[in-house]
A and B are shown apart, each in its own frame.
Chain A
């Protein structure tokens, strides 16, 4: 079954609103990352956060290993935050390939 579950599937925000994206893992959490993808674009690493809390500007990631979950908080959303956010976990074997969730599509309107 799906090892990485993301929620919600999509999110519509008014500019300035906050949002919380969730990622849950069915196996032991290993080297967790968040990526951002614009429509038709490539994946850009947003956070490498294997545990604890990290902040970068208006984005905050919190990973709780024991609970096998990670969250991405967007504060004071802007139109430029629109896109898809994917969480991924590194496989312990298999060339350390990433296992991805299905993503959360965020749309921020003025």
Chain B
């Protein structure tokens, strides 16, 4: 079954430390997305990708980098984590053709102390 898998499921990081959130999809979708979900804000787009080697800035990219080394994998990198980045992060894949075929991962709960 096609799926989007995120790791880790939960993460506690120290302020100033580096954090990498991983995402793997087996949908063979071209597009992948990273969102964060916070109370009162819904889901907000951080970075997205059109395919291997591509990364694009979303609506709130500051403090985040992304990497798409292959069709299947899309990582979100926090080089210097801050407490304001405490959130739940969701990865998603989409076919990018306007058929509205999106699959979301189970989320990563990140706490920066």
Residues of chain A whose beta carbon lies under 8 Å from any beta carbon of chain B: 4, 31, 33, 40-45, 48, 50, 86, 88, 90, 94-103
Partner of B106, one of A41, A45, A96: A41
Kindly report which residue of chain B lies nearest to residue A44, judged by CB atoms: B104
Question: Chain B residues with Cβ under 8 A from A95's Cβ?
Answer: 31, 33, 48-50, 56, 94, 96
Q: Which residues of B contact A (CB under 8 A)?
A: 31, 33, 35, 40-45, 48-50, 56, 58, 90, 92, 94, 96, 98, 100, 102, 104-107
Interfacial chain B residues near A99, Cβ < 8 Å:
45
The reply to whether B48 and A94 contact each other, CB–CB distance below 8 Å, is yes
* Interface pair B100/A42, CB less than 8 Å apart: no
Known: A42-B105, A43-B104, A95-B96. A103 touches B42 (CB 8 A): yes
Contact of B58 among A90, A97, A102 (CB under 8 A): A97
Smallest CB-CB separation from A48: which chain B residue? B100
Q: How many A-B residue pairs have CB under 8 A?
A: 63
Main SS class of interface, B: strand
Q: Which residues of the other chain, B, contact A43 by a CB distance below 8 angstroms?
A: 43, 90, 92, 104
**What residue in chain B is nearest A102 (Cβ atoms)?**
B42
Decide if B56 touches A94 in the complex (CB within 8 Å). yes
**What residues of B have a CB within 8 angstroms of the CB of A100 in the complex?**
35, 42-44
B44 contacts across to A, CB distance below 8 A: 100
Chain A residues contacting B35 (CB-CB under 8 Å) are: 100
The CA of A43 and the CA of B93, in the complex, are separated in Å by: 12
List the B residue with the shortest CB-CB distance to A98: B102
A44 to B90: give the CA distance in the assembly, Å. 12
Complex A-B: 19 CB contacts under 8 Å: A33-B100, A42-B90, A42-B105, A42-B106, A42-B107, A44-B104, A45-B102, A50-B100, A90-B98, A95-B31, A95-B96, A96-B94, A97-B94, A98-B33, A98-B102, A99-B45, A100-B43, A100-B44, A103-B42
